[in-house]
Amino acid sequence: MKKSRAEAFSDGVFAVAATLLVFNLIDPRVGRGDDLGKALLAEWPSYAAYVISFSTIVVIWVNHHAVADALERFDRPLLFLNGLLLLTVAAIPFPTGLLAHYLQEGHNQTAAAVAYGLTMTAMSVAFTIFNLYSRRYRVSFLKLDWVGLSLGVTLWPLATLAALFNVGLALSLYAFVVVFYIVLPIIRERRAAAAALSHGGTLGVAHERARAAESSGRDLGEDA
């Protein structure tokens, strides 16, 4: 199958999953004389869950694009592995709604936080498998970053485990994981560009090396 078809299908799933998240934001429907501002502030769990989940989907999409862009082609097993990843991505709105609802209700918060973490863990594992298998079809050989790979498959499970003991801590860790995934690749890309310039390279060469660093595994399955 042409890469373009696989990428188009993947982009569609990412877009739908991200769009569905907004339906977890609820109109508080206050009556006459009630304070709408306070009611909106009371819905903060929905906003927090929305931001974390939407940011996570964006990170997955960016990293999926980086991996797919470095591939020569998709074979049948890789298409199914891509489908497995998309299955987990499409499921993200469901635990997001659970988490927002039960944080607001004040009960069953642990179960909702664990369900959320398990979904994200499944997504991380699926991306790691997709990423590892896809390496055989990358245009250039890139050394595997085992440290990054280990981080990619342990951060979400650790955050999920924390939910069993402290929901607030779990939420903080969920947010931290997303920030980690966003910030680390940007830092590495800028360092790669700076290193290229310091060795006498042109800005174009620096950008090419930074791009190589990004697609070399500075993605969810390896470094984040």
Model confidence, pTM = 0.79
Instruction: Give the structural domain span for 34.
Output: 3-215
Round to whole Å and give the CA distance between 75 and 69: 15
With a cut of 70, list the residues of the chain below it in pLDDT: 1, 31, 33, 139-149, 152, 192, 199-224
pLDDT of residue 14: 96
pLDDT in tens, 118-136: 999 999 999 989 988 888 7
**Residue holding tokens 């959320």?**
116
Asked whether residue 220 is domain-assigned, the answer is: no
Residue 220's nearest CA partner among 141, 145, 169 is 145
Asked whether residue 153 is domain-assigned, the answer is: yes
From start to end of the chain, where are the E strands? none
pLDDT of residue 1: 65
pLDDT of residue 220: 45
Q: How many domains does the chain have?
A: 1
